[in-house]
C-alpha cells in the first residue's frame, strides 16, 4: 500500500478548500503533513477536532466521521452538507458593516433555522477580528468587528467553494461528540487524525477557550490515553500539537516529527509568526 500521492491531490478550482478560518487550521501545513500520512487506503477517516477540516477536504475520504464539541461549528458543517443553497441565500442577506456585525453577533444561534445559523457563523468568522473564534464563559461568541478591505464572504469564488465543500461532505457523518467517543467507533484499519487545542507555549499564550471550560492539562492527558487505547486496538493515529515538553512526554512512546507553521490567527500581533509544531504518529 502507498501513501496518497501528489497526483491524488486535486488543485483544480472546483477542489474544496476550508470555508472557515480556524486557529491552528492545517491548510498551510498540508505540504508538510502529506508525506507523514499513513499508508492507504484506510477503512474510515475520523477527525474528532474538526476545526477548518483542511486535511479532510484535501483527502476527501469515501467514509468519514467529523466531530467536535462545538455545536455552532458542527451545525455549520451540517447545514453546508445538506442545505448549501439555503446557506448561500442566507449569506447574501448579510453585509460588511460594523453595526450589522454587532447585530448579528447578538443573535441567539438556537433561535435561528439551521441554514441561517450557519450563515451567521460564516459571516462572523469572515468579518470578525483576525479570524478568531472565541467565546466567553457563558458560551457567547465575543470577538470584535474586524477591519478588512474586502472579507469576501459572499464572493462568487467563496460561494462556489461552499458548493464544492458540500459535495465533499456528502459521504461524511457530522456530529457533536467528545473526542473520547472515537474509541468506541474506530476499528482496526481506520485512520484518526487529532488536531486538539494546543498545549500553550507559555503561561500567557494559550488559545483553548473555543468552548466554555477550555482544554487544559487534564484534557490533554485524557487525549493521550485515548491515543493509547486506539493504538492497542490497531487504529492508525496521527496527532498535531505544540512542540512543548508536556506534549513530548505524553507521547514519548510514539514517533514524533516536527513541522513549522506560520500562525496568523491570534489576538496579539506578538504571538503571530513562525512556530514549531509536532506531529505524533503510531505508525
Residue 274's pLDDT is what? 84
- Is the predicted pLDDT of residue 229 greater than 80, yes or no? yes
Residue 272's pLDDT is what? 58
Residue 2's pLDDT is what? 42
pTM of structure? 0.89
Rounded to 5°, angle at Cα 241 from 252 and 278: 60
Residue 207's pLDDT is what? 47
Please indicate whether the domains covering 27-69+177-281 and 74-168 agree at the CATH topology level. no
Confidence bin at 208 (pLDDT 50/70/90): very low
Residue 211's pLDDT is what? 55
Domain ranges of the chain: 27-69+177-281, 74-168
Coil vs helix vs strand at 278: strand
pLDDT single digits (tens) 62-116: 999 999 999 999 999 999 999 999 999 999 999 999 999 999 999 999 999 999 9
Fold assignment, 27-69+177-281 = Rossmann fold (3.40.50)
Fold assignment, 74-168 = Adenine-specific Methyltransferase; domain 2 (1.10.1020)
Amino acid at each position: 500500500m502507498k501513501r496518497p500521492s501528489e497526483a491524488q491531490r486535486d488543485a483544480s478550482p472546483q477542489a474544496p478548500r476550508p470555508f472557515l478560518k480556524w486557529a491552528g487550521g492545517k491548510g498551510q501545513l498540508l505540504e508538510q503533513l502529506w508525506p507523514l500520512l499513513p499508508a492507504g487506503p484506510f477503512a474510515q477517516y475520523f477527525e474528532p477536532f474538526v476545526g477548518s477540516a483542511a486535511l479532510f477536504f484535501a483527502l476527501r475520504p469515501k467514509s468519514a466521521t467529523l466531530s467536535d464539541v462545538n455545536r455552532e461549528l458542527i451545525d455549520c458543517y451540517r447545514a453546508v452538507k445538506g442545505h448549501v443553497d439555503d446557506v448561500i441565500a442566507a449569506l447574501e442577506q448579510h453585509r460588511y458593516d460594523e453595526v450589522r456585525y454587532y447585530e448579528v453577533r447578538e443573535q441567539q444561534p438556537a433561535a435561528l433555522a439551521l441554514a441561517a445559523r450557519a450563515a451567521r457563523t460564516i459571516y462572523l468568522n469572515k468579518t470578525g477580528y483576525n479570524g478568531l473564534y472565541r467565546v466567553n464563559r457563558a458560551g457567547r461568541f465575543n470577538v470584535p468587528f474586524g477591519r478588512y478591505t474586502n472579507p469576501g464572504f459572499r464572493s462568487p469564488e467563496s460561494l462556489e467553494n461552499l458548493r464544492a465543500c458540500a459535495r465533499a461532505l456528502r459521504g461524511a457523518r457530522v456530529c457533536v461528540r467528545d473526542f473520547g467517543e472515537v474509541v468506541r467507533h474506530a476499528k482496526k484499519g481506520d485512520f484518526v487524525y487529532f488536531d486538539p487545542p494546543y498545549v500553550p507555549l507559555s503561561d500567557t499564550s494559550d488559545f483553548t477557550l473555543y468552548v466554555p471550560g477550555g482544554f487544559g492539562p487534564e484534557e490533554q492527558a485524557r487525549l493521550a490515553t485515548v491515543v493509547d487505547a486506539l493504538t492497542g486496538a490497531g487504529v492508525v493515529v496521527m496527532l498535531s500539537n505544540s512542540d512543548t515538553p508536556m506534549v513530548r512526554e505524553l507521547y514519548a512512546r510514539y514517533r514524533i516529527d516536527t513541522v513549522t507553521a506560520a500562525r496568523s490567527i491570534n489576538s496579539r500581533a506578538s504571538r503571530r509568526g513562525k512556530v514549531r509544531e509536532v506531529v505524533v504518529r503510531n505508525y
